[in-house]
Amino acid sequence: MTEIEVRDMKKDYVDEDVVTSALRGISFTIDRGDFVSIVGPSGSGKSTLVQILSFLDRPTGGSYRFFGKSIDDMNDRELAHVRNKEMGFVFQSFNLLSRLSVYENVEIPLLYAENVPAGDRKKLVEDAVRSVGLEEKLWSEAGRLSGGQKQRVAIARALVNKPNVIFADEPTGNLDSKSGAQIMGILDDLNKEGHTIILVTHETYTAEFASRIIRIKDGLIESDTPVETPRRSREDFFK
Amino acid sequence: MRVRDSFNSAVNSLRHGKTRSVLTMLGIVIGIASVIILMSIGQSAQDYILNQVQGVGSNLIFIIPGGTVNGRFQSPAAAQGIVVTSLVQNDVNALSREPSISDVVPLVTGQADAVYGDNDLTVTYQGTTANFFPVRNFTVANGYPFTAQDVAAYNHVAVIGSDLAKTLFGANIDPVGQNIRLKNIMFRVVGVLAPKGTGPGGVNQDDMVLVPITVAQSEMLGITYFNMIFVSANPAYRISFVKSRIESIMEQDHGITNPNKDDFTVETQQDILSLLGNITSVLTLFLAAIASISLVVGGIGIMNIMLVSVTERTREIGLRKAVGATDRDVLQQFLIEAILLTFLGGVIGIALGAVVVTMAWLVLSHVVAAGWTFAFPLSAVLIAVLVSTACGLAFGLYPARQAARKSPIEALRYE
């Protein structure tokens, strides 16, 4: 089932009459349950692409359909609703509220969710935290955790609303290789459970955890190739 | 986002920055406390002044020289330095014949040094008739009040206030029978008044000297008119009726056909109460208005800190928006934070105000003025809570809108 359908997508930034094209006509589709890496050098347009795919920004040309519905047909409130219900976010810098507990951080998306009774939140948060192996840290202050633990909390926060797609933007960028391997392992497990994973990275060996790699350069797709044998083990990560 | 969740988030944010929250609230705390304190003390002062006037006696009517302009009250002519000589003995005689009037007491007043031996004190003396004492509820604690015969015979006798007695004679000399000098005229003290406290207009009634009006007019002041006439209404008649009778008798006596040209003013206790009530209310409101300036300053302080908070929490705003918060959710959260800050500030300000008002009451009632009552008007509390919450809304709205308008991408990138 096609989850993401991009056709001739363009994105121009205008700053004092100077137009910069970050995306210059990109087309691809991503099916539900795919694990796709988007790679490219700095300034290639990969971050812009993911911002649009994750409804944080709108394209200036072309079309983008998410589960068949065009981004052009949705207002900002609807985009926020889709982000909350269908998407999870994992950032390179974790973006945790350091003074809040693990529980309170993971609960944040549920605060904005419709149709999640307050009584169900506790179980959803506990399940998400357990799935990343941090149940003993549930009430610890997020700011006091290690980098790897913080990223696991961020993954739990991304999972808690049971989204279809998880966007992971350089999730191992701030981690040592051991923690990085754990995070990639968790993302791989989530993919096996049916979540679509869209991974943005500039590291080739991290990208090869995916089953497909889209390479972006100068705002265009340079290549879109399947990974014959994805790295799916911790040992592979250290190679 | 539910309001309850916004409220919890706001409580969390404020709890995690306790010092900042307390310092931010300080402006509102001081502003609200000032408003409460000034309104409460103003109310107490109003009660105190009105009680003093009521203490004069509800059936008392005052006739003051000088008229009103187009029926509007203006300050008596004497208060403007104008000598009006319209109140004379004929008026007293005419009023005394009116059945709705029980007593008529003329009064003249002046200032002089009261001297006994080496002691002297500048006092207000009042020349009046013997019926002044029962009409004004003045009791003589030591000796006796001067009589109608003393007045008729121009006797040099005086009744003095209790404080003056202490000042001039000390504790060991009985003032009764002693001679004091007023304007170089010797008076024999025949009585000392029971302590009376401060009277209407803030006059210390325990410092005064009362002498026969005949002596005061002819020997001390050299006048034939009166400064005021007290009329005691017959209890069988309504005060308003007695007032209208006084006006028509006086107009007839003075040959006045147009009431707008009256050369006298008749004031009942109710008139004075309502006038004083209006004046003190305006003064209280004026003070509260001045105090409320500090509320505005406090509100601006909150806006300032909230703006800093919005900047500091840019990434948090970005994250919340990324995971599904709408502009309205963010606006709601920051607005609730501001309102919560000001509301808490208001509550603490009310408590602080209550403490200060209680302390002021203890000091004023025991040290400065007996009869000072405790007042803590609920209207002030209500106004304080409403104003502080409104401050939160007004001064929190701008920072909250700034937060709500942030683009999630820019906010997430913010360093």
CB contact under 8 A, A112 and B319: no
Which residues are registered as beta bridge partners of A111? none
Using a CB-CB distance cutoff of 8 angstroms, which residues of chain B are in contact with residue A56? Answer: 322, 408-409, 412
d(CA A187, CA A234): 12
pLDDT for A125 equals 94
Window 44-103 of A: residues touching B by CB (8 A cutoff) are 51, 54, 56-57, 76-77, 80-81, 83-85, 89, 91, 95, 97, 99-100
pLDDT for B364 equals 80
pLDDT for A214 equals 94
- Could you tell me the two tokens for A176? 């040592």
Domain ranges of chain A: 2-238
The distance of Cα A165 from the centroid of its chain, to the nearest Å, equals 7
Mind telling me how many Å the CA of A230 is from chain B's nearest CA? Answer: 30
CA angle A83, A85, A88 (to 5 degrees): 60
Mind telling me how many Å the CA of A114 is from chain B's nearest CA? Answer: 8
CB contact under 8 A, A111 and B9: yes
CB contact under 8 A, B323 and A112: yes
Residue of A nearest to B17 (CA): A99
d(CA B355, CA B36): 10
Q: What is the pLDDT of residues A53-89, one digit of tens each?
A: 999 999 999 999 999 899 999 999 999 999 999 999 9
Give the torsion through C-alpha atoms of A151, A153, A155, A159, to 10 deg.
-170
Residue of B nearest to A76 (CA): B326
CATH superfamily of A2-238: P-loop containing nucleotide triphosphate hydrolases (3.40.50.300)
A111 at B interface, C-beta within 8 A: yes
A&B contacts, CB < 8 Å: 57
The radius of gyration computed from the CA coordinates of chain B, to the nearest angstrom, equals: 32
Residue A182 vs residues A154, A164, A168, A232: alpha-carbon distances, Å: 13, 21, 14, 11
Residue B373, classified by CB atoms within 10 Å of its CB into exposed (0-12), middle (13-18) or buried (19+), is: middle
Give the mean pLDDT of A153-176: 90
Lowest mean pLDDT segment, chosen from A61-75, A98-112, A200-214:
A200-214
Which residues are registered as beta bridge partners of B103? B232
Long-range contacts of A111-117 (CB under 8 A, 24+ apart): A111/B1, A111/B2, A111/B5, A111/B9, A111/B325, A112/A80, A112/A84, A112/B1, A112/B320, A112/B323, A112/B324, A112/B325, A112/B326, A112/B329, A113/A84, A113/A85, A113/A161, A113/B324, A114/A81, A114/A85, A116/A161
B1 at A interface, C-beta within 8 A: yes
- Could you tell me the two tokens for A33? 């349950």
Of B347, B322, B325, residue with least CA distance to B400: B325
CB contact under 8 A, B323 and A57: no
- Does pLDDT of A46 surpass 60? yes
d(CA B353, CA B356): 5
- Could you tell me the two tokens for B241? 């009726």
B408 at A interface, C-beta within 8 A: yes
pLDDT for B69 equals 59
Render the burial of A87-108: b for 16+ CB within 10 Å, e for the rest: bbbbbbbbbbbeebbbbbbbbb
Closest partner residue to B324 (CB to CB) among A95, A97, A113 is A113
Residue of B nearest to A160 (CA): B323
What ipTM describes this predicted complex? 0.90
d(CA A104, CA A106): 6
CB contact under 8 A, A89 and B322: yes
Give the mean pLDDT of A90-106: 90
pLDDT for A205 equals 81
First-to-last C-alpha distance (Å) of chain B:
27
Residue type, B291: A
- Could you tell me the two tokens for B307? 């703006």
Using a CB-CB distance cutoff of 8 angstroms, which residues of chain A are in contact with residue B316? Answer: 97
Per-residue pLDDT of chain B (415 residues; tens, 9 = 90+): 778 888 888 888 888 778 888 888 888 898 889 888 888 888 888 888 877 777 666 688 989 888 765 555 555 555 566 677 888 899 999 999 999 999 999 999 999 999 998 888 888 899 999 999 988 888 899 999 999 999 999 999 999 999 899 888 888 889 999 999 999 899 999 999 998 776 655 667 788 899 999 999 999 999 999 999 999 998 888 888 999 999 999 998 888 888 777 888 888 888 878 888 888 888 888 887 887 787 788 888 888 888 888 888 888 999 999 999 999 999 998 899 888 888 888 899 999 999 998 888 888 877 766 667 788 888 878 888 888 888 888 888 888 898 888 888 888 877 7
CB contact under 8 A, A109 and B16: no
Q: What is the pLDDT of residues A125-145, one digit of tens each?
A: 999 999 888 989 999 999 999
